[in-house]
Amino acid sequence: MSVNLSGRSFLKLLDFTPEEIEYLLDLSAELKRKKHAGEPHRYLEGKNIVLLFEKTSTRTRCSFEVGGHDLGMNVTYLDPGSSQMGKKESIEDTARVLGRMFDGIEYRGFAQERVETLAKYAGVPVWNGLTTEFHPTQMIADILTMREEFGRDLHGRKLTFMGDARNNVANSLMVVCAKLGIDFCACGPKENMPEEGLVATCEKIAAETGAHLTFTPDVAEGAKDASVIYTDIWVSMGEPDELWGKRIELMRPYQVNEKMFEVAAPDAIFMHCLPSFHDRKTTIGEKIFEKYGLPELEVTNDVFEGPRSRVFDEAENRMHTIKAVMYATLKDPE
């Protein structure tokens, strides 16, 4: 049966079959080809979408804006300072109002429950642009980047996430790897391993797709034979700044460095969702350096800037893949 995602929301990858995820990946590749060839693809001319951001963003916001414009849509951006959401109006009421005006709604914010509620009441597709628990649009970009590197068949490849393996990106990587039969390793301190319930769900999926899920505090074991070494910041948006001291202490052994690649697969690449603290060129990076003396955090600057790094391909792919998610869910059913 052919895949049809028209009218669906995109809230978390657990809601999608492997075939549906593969479909989004193929569509992303095709839309990327069109963009690079300069072929117009204004398939959603005249539609209107709204982007709700309760947290800051560069890539996700710009991907929805540029992707939306390339598809011929009008895009409205709302942040907490310029809308009533939360303070004067519930998420349920906001959803029902926006659903009357817009054809699709993007949400970035806090609990996953909020984006699920939006989708329940909006009556139009809702896309998750990052919550505390998940970051599903990031995953389509990441797997597209892996496909571009290693080919379409990723079975048997190992992706290792180093560091805060309990955050939204790590959770989502575990889900997408389980769904697509890619081996996933969470390598980090025991305190920051993915939550047990989610692990159990992913183990069940993995048993069907052939993915192997492993969890280890041992860096050499984690890096061994990995095709991808992936990391993310050690304190995520919404977490208190006071956590930095404890996290630095916990995560320091998991800083991605050149040595890890000595035991990884020979063709291994480095990936990161970005933004990254790989140098002191940010205000937070500089403050952390002053307080803790570390000039680079979750990844060394050598790796970030080195030949294995694919971080800017990944960032570009956010746009092509978010465009695919919007097109697939907003187009008329075939």
Instruction: Determine, following the binding rule CB under 6 A, whether residue 322 of this chain makes contact with ligand NVA.
Output: no
Instruction: Determine, following the binding rule CB under 6 A, whether residue 282 of this chain makes contact with ligand CP.
Output: no
CA distance 67 to 50: 13
Active site residue 138: yes
Instruction: Determine, following the binding rule CB under 6 A, whether residue 60 of this chain makes contact with ligand CP.
Output: yes
* Shortest separation between residue 131's beta carbon and ligand CP, angstroms: 11
Closest CA to 324 of 68, 132, 102: 68
- Cβ-based nearer residue to ligand CP, 65 or 103: 65
Q: 8, 59, 61, 108: which one is catalytic?
A: 108
Active site residue 135: yes
Instruction: Determine, following the binding rule CB under 6 A, whether residue 31 of this chain makes contact with ligand NVA.
Output: no
Buried-state track 178-215, b at ≥16 Cβ within 10 A, e below 16:
bbbbbbbbbbbbeebbbeeebbeebeebbeeeebebeb
* Shortest separation between residue 169's beta carbon and ligand NVA, angstroms: 5
Q: Using the rule CB under 6 A, which residue among 57, 227, 231, 255 binds ligand CP?
A: 57
Active site residue 318: yes
Instruction: Determine, following the binding rule CB under 6 A, whether residue 232 of this chain makes contact with ligand NVA.
Output: yes
Question: Pairing state of beta strands 183-187 and 158-162?
Answer: parallel
Residue 62 CA to chain centroid, in angstroms?
14
Cα-only R_g, the chain: 19
Ramachandran region, residue 58 (left: φ > 0; alpha: ψ -120 to 50; beta: rest):
alpha
Within a 10 A sphere around the Cβ of 225, how many other Cβ atoms?
Answer: 15
- Cβ-based nearer residue to ligand NVA, 94 or 167: 167
Active site residue 177: no
Which region among 118-126, 155-163, 167-175, 189-197 touches ligand NVA (by CB under 6 A)? 167-175
- Cβ-based nearer residue to ligand CP, 6 or 58: 58
Active site residue 232: yes
Question: Pairing state of beta strands 269-272 and 213-216?
Answer: unpaired
* Shortest separation between residue 194's beta carbon and ligand NVA, angstroms: 13
DSSP state of 248: H
Active site residue 62: no
Beta strands in 101-212 (DSSP E): 104-108, 126-128, 158-162, 183-187
Q: Which does 28 bind (CB under 5 to 8 A by kind): ligand CP, ligand NVA, none?
A: none
Within residues 91-150, the interface with ligand CP by CB under 6 A covers 130, 138
DSSP state of 38: T
Q: Write down the H helix ranges in 258-307.
A: 258-263, 283-292, 301-305
Residues that bind ligand CP (CB under 6 A): 57-60, 130, 138, 273-275
Q: Which residues are tagged catalytic?
A: 108, 135, 138, 232, 273, 318
- Binding residues (CB under 6 A) for ligand NVA: these are 130, 167-169, 232-233, 236-237, 273
